Structure 1
Amino acid sequence: MVNQSPTRTAGTTTAGAKPSRGASRAWLASHWAGLAACAVAIPAAFAVHLLVPAVPVMTMAVVFGILAANLPGVRDWVAGPWKAGLGFAGRKLMRAGIVLLGLKLSIVDVLALGWGTFGVVVAVVLLAFGGTYLIGKAFRLPGDQPLLIATGFSICGASAIGAMSAVRNSKQQDTVIPVALVTLCGTLAIAVLPLLMGPLGLSPHAFGQWVGASVHDVGQVVATAQTGGAAALAVAVVIKLMRVLTLAPMVAMAGVVTRRRQGQADGGAMKLPPIVPAFILGFVALVAVRSLLPVPAEVLAAATVVQDILLAAALFGLGAAVRIRELFSSRGSAVLMAMCSWALIAGLAYGGILLLQG
């Protein structure tokens, strides 16, 4: 009996090590094909952006994903061998990209525009969020879709949707539809808003303010505002970053509500999600680094490239979960609701700009 114990212990150790190596191999076997598809889609999205600078990389990544999910032949790969890798990209790589987004934000730059501008932008975000959420409920969109669409449209597009869906543990279908809609409306903004600059009598500075306060994704803001010149682009980016700053507190509030509801539903038996996810803490930490320390331009440039790659992979993965038929189901209620939200935030932002000018 005594002589058998070491043998069992050793066998247990060996057996315990094998599942770890086996799990790694199994993970690679199930994920490599989807990640390889991302590795092909990302350079293609960048290539389109280089050829047509007005088309943001992130927009093309979502478009390529949607095409892959709906083209005959390719969609079988999306639903089969690529599925696990694309899901990993849509969840984990999105969170890593959001962390690096923090390096774009300097509190000093934001406050340089003044407290009045900051207050107007925050008011626009809150009103757009609440209004869009109510519109989503009025259109009877299922699950977390009203909340996620409100988050994406009011704050920073797909990145905000990914952050909110993580803290809410939203279903994949509740996430991919908002991503597709925010991409659709952001792309429309690139084409439509510059046409309104003249009729509305907006100066380049005011046009930049309007774009920064109303367009969803950072890349879409850049593509839209640059049509108004360098002055418009500069103010648009800073105001957009003001909106991005609201991401952390909004996600934190959602985390508090989610914990409370889950705790009430299961009597505290289940493990509750964190109030603020680790990747949001990482985002806040990098905002602090950028605001308090002199970060070399080379580091910022490299971080931007890595962030763009991560977010492009994530958006390709999310886009690959969108089925056109489902997007336009229920007589296109989700698309119609998104258009209403787009008009709402554009109107609120325009009103805010008039208030600042007055």
Structure 2
Amino acid sequence: MASSSDRLPAPSAPRRPSPGGSTPHPAAAGRHRAAILANLPGVLLAAVAVGFATALSRFVPALSPAVVAVALGAALANTAGVGERLRPGLAFVSRRVLRVAVALLGLQIAVPQVLALGWQTMAVVLAATGTTFAVTPLIGRRLGLAPGTSLLVATGVSICGAAAVAAMRETADASDDDAANALSGVVLYGSTAIVVLPLLGSLLGLAPAQLAVWTGAAVHEVAQVAAIGAAAGVLAAAVTVKLGRVILLAPMVALVSWRRRASAPAGRPPVMPLFVAAFLAMVALRATGLVPDAVTAAVPQVTSLLMAAALFGLGTGIHVRTLVRGGRALLLGGIATAIISAVSLAGVALLV
């Protein structure tokens, strides 16, 4: 007869801890692997689109990689369509990659250079941006647009184009259709400004300094401002004014989030999204002077690539039929562009 000790199971070998001190859970590792594989097709497609957009922008400097990427995404959505295999990866780049790009945008802003513009220039920027941001949603309401669409149009036109639309989308709890409608108007009118604004400046007899401030205070995208500034010989001044507007992205997003918290006592959103707080942290870090010159020189290129990938993903949500049926979003974008152009031009005439 076997003893009781013979009937006991043999002790199992102790599990070796991982180098970090904890044993990885097989199920968790499997989920991560599955997520990576699910995202891979869409991410690879976005990478190809970014490569094409970057190459095209080198031949046509007036077209930034972000603008080209939005157009490519829209073209794909309205021709071949976006298959289910691509959707997880495109959602990843339009959300996660976007947050990294917005945070890195803060490293491009040199606060001392912005402050050196003087109070007159900053007054023009604040008046034009604030007026457009406040008035555009009111006009959108009169046009019968969804609040999310109106808010995103206001943000994109008044601050920094497609990047601002993408950054505000989560805070505003806007839908993909809202973002697509806002993006289409921002891209259309911002690109048109590259041709129209210098012609108007010449007809009005603006001095180079005045044209630089008007360009930086009125045109949507940083790349579009750079294209106008380079052609007019006011590149550095125009881009610096534009970056003064970009700084306002964080306060605007925080303001919208604060208003949502006040109106939603249960399940309140954060005062400021973490990626916007990271943007402010990057601005502060750049202001300390501790960031090496090699890093600040490389950041614009890295940010441009990441933003282009994110905007390609957002562009796949733009459907021409929806835009044609809802042309009021394009109308609102045109009205908002006219407002910021007129207010900033008046400020330039009075103060610069």
TM-score (normalised: structure 1): 0.89
Q: Which residue is equivalent to 1:70? A: 78
For structure 1, which runs of at least 5 residues remain unmatched after alignment?
Answer: none
Q: CA deviation at 1:225?
A: 2.2
| Aligned 8 A contact 1:45 1:58 in 2 | yes
Paired residues in the alignment total 337
Q: Which residue is equivalent to 2:19? A: none
Q: Which residue is equivalent to 1:241? A: 243
Mapped to 1, the partners of 2:96 and 2:173 lie a distance apart of 13
Q: Which residue is equivalent to 1:302? A: 298
What does 1:253-264 correspond to in 2, within 5 Å? 253-263=255-265
**CA deviation string 1:302-340 (max 9, x = no partner):** 22222111100001000111101111213x211122111
List 4+ stretches of structure 1 deviating above 3 A. none
Q: CA deviation at 1:176?
A: 2.0
TM-score (normalised: structure 2): 0.91
**CA deviation string 1:171-193 (max 9, x = no partner):** 22212221221111111111211
| Aligned 8 A contact 2:148 2:173 in 1 | no
| Aligned 8 A contact 2:62 2:223 in 1 | no
Q: Which residue is equivalent to 1:27? A: 35
Correspondence for 2:208 among 187, 204, 209: 204
What does 1:1-358 correspond to in 2, within 5 Å? 17-71=25-79, 74-75=80-81, 78-229=82-233, 232-263=234-265, 268=266, 270=267, 272-330=268-326, 332-357=327-352
| RMSD across aligned positions (CA) | 2.1
DSSP-derived class of the 1:197 partner: helix
| Aligned 8 A contact 1:56 1:223 in 2 | no
| Aligned 8 A contact 1:41 1:61 in 2 | yes
AA at the equivalent of 2:321: R
Mapped to 2, the partners of 1:173 and 1:235 lie a distance apart of 36
Mapped to 2, the partners of 1:59 and 1:131 lie a distance apart of 26
| Aligned 8 A contact 1:98 1:159 in 2 | yes
Mapped to 1, the partners of 2:103 and 2:209 lie a distance apart of 30
For structure 2, which runs of at least 5 residues remain unmatched after alignment?
Answer: 1-7, 16-22
Mapped to 1, the partners of 2:253 and 2:147 lie a distance apart of 17
AA at the equivalent of 1:173: D
Q: CA deviation at 1:116?
A: 2.4
**CA deviation string 1:145-185 (max 9, x = no partner):** 10111011001111211221122232222122212211111
Q: CA deviation at 1:227?
A: 1.8
DSSP-derived class of the 2:25 partner: helix
Mapped to 2, the partners of 1:350 and 1:143 lie a distance apart of 28
Identity of aligned residues (%): 39
Query: Rg larger in 1 or in 2?
Result: 2
**CA deviation string 1:113-171 (max 9, x = no partner):** 11222122111110011121222112111241101110110011112112211222322
DSSP-derived class of the 1:195 partner: helix
Q: Which has the higher helix share?
A: 1
Mapped to 1, the partners of 2:240 and 2:279 lie a distance apart of 17
